[in-house]
Structure 1
Amino acid sequence: MKMKKALLLMTMFVSAGAMAQEPQSSTDTIVKPIIPVEKVGLLKNIDVLFHTRVGFESYFDNGTFTNSEFDNNQARIEVVLTFVK
């Protein structure tokens, strides 16, 4: 029963924190954007994706445990262009 109450309280705090976030209404003048605002429209049909595959792998030899390790199996960047008439 304590676990249910703790989970409920955690859910309430996380959702309250998410609702407390306000969208940014003005741009920050201290930091200049990497891409000028006038040229952002050129990137509307470009998606940049970062794929990763990681895992905690355990190895056995003849039914006996030999080793466990955290392994990064894959990390790649993919650029997808969408052509629209």
Structure 2
Amino acid sequence: MEFKDLEQIIISQSQEIAELRAEVAALRKTQSAAPVFKSLSDPTPRTVAEVEARWQAVGGPHNYVEAMAKNAQLSEARHYEGLED
């Protein structure tokens, strides 16, 4: 494989990444207003933006996927400690 071939692969992957980032940003805009999250302790529906803001306020993850993964870990830990059903 020649350098030009590798360069072309990198350019095409960079373009694909940029397109995916734009798609994620657009989805985040449209979905951030929809209630998507309820916890066992507080059944109030939360939006993506609210969850992200809550986590950022406590210095937690800075995106929704990380926040949901962290919440799942905390919920599992509480379950095993007998703090949550």
Question: TM-score interval w.r.t. the shorter chain?
Answer: 0.3 to 0.5
Considering fraction of residues, name the structure with more helix. Answer: 2
TM-score where L is the length of structure 1: 0.38
TM-score, normalising length: structure 2:
0.38
Whichever structure has more strand as a proportion of its residues is 1
